[in-house]
Structure 1
Amino acid sequence: MSAMARQDTQSSSGGIGQGYKSSAGGRSPLDRPLVLMLIVGSFLGVSTVFAKAAPEIGWHPIALLQWSILGGAIGLFGATRLAGLKNGSTRVAKEKGHQQRLVIYILITGLLFILPNMIAVAAAPRVGAGFVALCFAFPLVLTYAFAVVLRLQRFQWIMGAGVFFGVAGGILLAISGSELSAEASFWSLLALAIPLFLAAGNIYRTLKWPKGAKPVDLALGMMVVGFLVLSVFTATWGIPVAPVAWTPEAAGLLAAQTAIFGLQYGLYFRLQQTAGPVYLSQIGSVAAVVGLGLGYLVFNEVPNAAKLAAVAAVGVGIILVTVGQRRVWQSTD
């Protein structure tokens, strides 16, 4: 059974959602997977640039992430209620153990959400916003590979070739980090774990989507768990939770990142519900383009030959996986 067919089956019982085919023709632009992908992916790319800028403005990147997530969750909660979405809250089924499964789901998705974000914001000042942004391009091919292994989707040669090019791009990206200092090289290798967490999260959310749960409520739960994990982390390691000085730049960066998180993760689960895990993974491709471009424009980060080759390899992999995914959708028409 293909991933799309599996989603259609789950949607009939209140699971993953309506699937790409039933939502693509929605009235609102926010019902269209392409629009959602471009918005969420662009915000993801901008966040890598903010993470690199944080130390220059007086913020520890982890502290900025912590308060931005809390502020984003509060803003998202308030916006949904003001918009009259109160009746769209999660309807917990009455089946025995369902509430417990919902709590476990939120805890796991929260961890799979916050760990790659922590790595990203900590690595960006050391290896560059462009390097970290490019790491976000790999979840597409990894998510497809996981989907095949778990039999959520049939193997296709064209998509398999895409995975091969994606892995080659990862190797080239690792090579591009060999020119960095010893500390930066460590962070470059750690950053390569980001796509593993993201791909695992994509698959887990699809498989375990709670019956009757609404995207906005799952996003809020995920963000709250992320904030709690960060609070424990900063307290344990003695990370300063406030900027060196509350300058207009420090306050402005916090406000901007807070607004981005509120919008980004408010739409993140909506995209997952609408289009499924493989399509969702394309936000990383958008983030890579935006992050590399902004890294060059803002920080004058000029990619070396290995990084450019990695971009080319990942680009080919993304094209092949995307073409193959479209064939899957067409075959289920």
Structure 2
Amino acid sequence: MADTTRPGASAGAASLQQQAALSGVRRGSPLDQPLVLLLIVGGFLAISTVIAKAAPMTGWHPLALLQWSILGGAAGLFAITRIKARGSMAGVGSSSVSRGKFALYLLISGLLFIGPNMIAVVSAPKVGAGFVSLSYAFPLVLTYGFAVLLRIEKFQVLRGVGVLFGLAGGVLLAASGRQLSVEASWWAMVALSIPVFLAFGNIYRTLKWPAGARPVDLALGMMLVGFLALGLFTAIAGIPVTPVAWTAEATGLLIAQIAIFAFQYGLYFRLQHTAGPVYLSQIGSVAAVIGLGLGYLAFGEVPNLPKLAAVAAVGAGIVLVSKGRASGLKKTN
């Protein structure tokens, strides 16, 4: 992230470079490499979308499955952290950050986290896992635009071209939704709001990152806030919070989603402070490509020509944005 943080950015963004030591990752570890983290987190995101579509088939309401998966994922992440730390947990923030500011950070992060997840799991059964996964390609465009405007990122022509490819992929995806039914088309438009939430979340977490806070602690706080918010929503809406029957399929789906969330969001914050918000936003592009393939393998969702073209455009965007970041690092160093 050394190539993207500018002196004019807020203290939260500027301090990200100093937080690598807080991640608990040894230098030279594969999980210290942005590309490896990007592929893992993006892949998990695609798999979780496929699981969301499968939820009604096993008797789960998608939001109920999401609710308990988030809680279980937070518990699993906490357990993993305790084991790695041999029974000790570092403080969630430095003394320079007030409890009120830290709580506000977790609240906003949690709401920006649970919003797109709720939209994704509810719309996936309507428009298909492949469509929802492809909608995650948009955050790259929005995040980069916000980052340049807020002086978190320097404008680079190569990355700008890459973002345009991502935008082209999003346009092609929107065009593919015209073949859906009227109800599904409405849900398709709702799904396309996911990138807006994600882009705002990427930028907010970067600008307001509490100094000295460990990525894993922020991930745990964000997930707990998301669980509480979703639990309140399901209670008010009267959504059943258990499956129709505790079959092997229903139980297995919950366990799988819990495991995915525990690892996905533990690595999510690590990727953000390692590579910055724009690079992080590429997880949507990775999820788009992987999710399209999983949608075909799991549910027989045959991608049409616009979707295939969207995959090609998104893939080109990932390569160009990655190359732009690498060249920026070389010039800086």
Match of 2:243 in 1: 243
Q: Distance in 1 between matches of 2:34 and 2:314?
A: 21
CA contact (8 A) 1:137 1:288 kept: yes
Percent same amino acid among aligned pairs? 63
One-letter amino acid matched to 2:217: D
Residue in structure 1 matched with residue 203 of structure 2 by the alignment: 203
Q: CA deviation at 1:182?
A: 1.1
Name the SS for the 1:253 alignment partner: helix
Structure 2 gap segments, 5+ residues each:
none
Q: Distance in 2 between matches of 1:2 and 1:84?
A: 31
| Residue number in structure 2 paired with 1:308 | 308
Is 1:329 aligned with 2:332? Answer: no
Which residues of 2 match residues 97-108 of structure 1 at below 5 A? 98-108=98-108
Residues 13 and 152 of structure 2 are in contact (CA less than 8 Å); yes or no, is this contact kept in structure 1?
no
Counterpart residue number, 2:260: 260
Q: What is the letter of the counterpart of residue 224 of structure 2? A: V
CA contact (8 A) 1:142 1:196 kept: yes
Query: Aligned partners of 2:106, 2:86: CA distance in 1, in Å?
Result: 20
Q: CA deviation at 1:124?
A: 0.7
Residue 311 of structure 1 aligns to which amino acid in structure 2?
A: V
User: Residue 230 of structure 1 corresponds to which residue in structure 2?
Assistant: 230
Q: Call closer, same or farther: CA 1:292–1:85 in 2, change over 3 Å.
A: farther
Quote the Cα distance in structure 1 between the aligned partners of 2:17 and 2:111.
20
- Structure 1 residues 70, 6: closer, same or farther in 2, change over 3 A? farther
Does the C-alpha gap of structure 1 residues 89 and 55 become closer, same or farther in structure 2, counting only changes over 3 Å?
same
Q: Which one is further off, 221-230 or 280-289? A: 280-289
* Alpha-carbon spacing, 1:149–1:94, altered in 2? closer, same or farther (3 Å): same
CA distance in 2, matches of 1:12, 1:153: 10
1:64 is paired with a residue whose SS is: helix
TM-score (norm 2): 0.91
Match of 1:160 in 2: 160
Question: Does 2:43 correspond to 1:38?
Answer: no
Structure 1 CA distance, aligned partners of 2:31 and 2:10? 23
Match of 1:27 in 2: 28
- Structure 2 residue aligned with 1:285: 285
- Separation (CA, whole Å) in 1 of partners of 2:8 and 2:227: 30
User: 1:291, 1:12 → 2: CA distance?
Assistant: 31
Helix, strand or coil: the match of 1:154? coil
| Matched letter for residue 325 of structure 1 | R
Structural mapping, 1:77-116, within 5 Å: 77-84=78-85, 87-95=88-96, 98-116=98-116
Equivalent-residue separation in structure 1 for 2:183 and 2:139 (angstroms): 25
Cα RMSD of the aligned pairs, angstroms, is 2.6
For residues 30 and 243 of structure 1, the distance between their equivalents in structure 2, rounded to whole angstroms, comes to: 36
Q: What code does the residue aligned with 1:37 have?
A: L
Q: Separation in 1 of the partners of 2:281 and 2:8?
A: 16
Q: After TM superposition, give the deviation of residue 237 of structure 1 in Å.
A: 1.2
Preserved CA contact (<8 Å) 1:10 1:16: no
1:218 deviation in Å?
Answer: 0.4
The more displaced of 68-77 and 154-163 is 154-163
How far off is 1:91 after superposition?
4.7
Q: Is 2:71 the counterpart of 1:70?
A: yes
Cα distance in 2 for partners of 1:110, 1:25 equals 28
Deviation at 1:288, TM superposition (A): 1.6
**Deviation readout 1:93-126 (Å, 9 max, x if unpaired):** 334x622111111011111111111111111111
Q: 1:298 to 1:112 in 2, by over 3 A?
A: same
Closer, same or farther: CA 162–15 of 1 in aligned 2, 3 Å = closer
Specify the SS of the correspondent of 1:3. coil
Conserved 8 A contact 1:5-1:332: no
State the partner residue of 1:50.
51
1:93–1:99 Cα contact (<8 Å) kept? no
Moved more, 28-37 or 192-201: 28-37
> Quick check: 2:8–2:151 contact (8 Å CA) kept in 1?
no
Show the counterpart of 1:139: 139
After TM superposition, the runs of 4+ consecutive aligned structure 1 residues lying more than 3 A away are: 4-20, 85-88, 91-95
Range with bigger deviation, 125-134 or 279-288? 279-288
**Distance change in 2, residues 1:296/1:246 (3 Å):** same
> Is the 1:141–1:318 Cα contact (8 Å) retained in structure 2?
no
Question: In the alignment, is the contact (CA less than 8 A) between 2:13 and 2:206 conserved in 1?
Answer: no
Distance 1:300 1:17 in 2: 46
Cα distance in 2, alignment partners of residues 281 and 122 from structure 1: 22
5+ residue gaps in structure 1? none
Residues 13 and 285 (structure 1 numbering): CA distance in 2 closer, same or farther, change over 3 Å?
A: closer
User: What's 2:129 paired with?
Assistant: 129
Q: Which amino acid aligns with 2:258?
A: T
Q: Is the 8 A contact 1:40 1:267 kept in 2?
A: yes
Letter matched to residue 31 of structure 2 = L
- Deviates most, 185-194 or 137-146: 137-146
Shift, 1:278, TM fit: 1.7
Tell me the SS of whatever aligns to 1:54: helix
3-state SS of 1:142 partner: helix
Cα drift, residue 35 of structure 1? 2.1
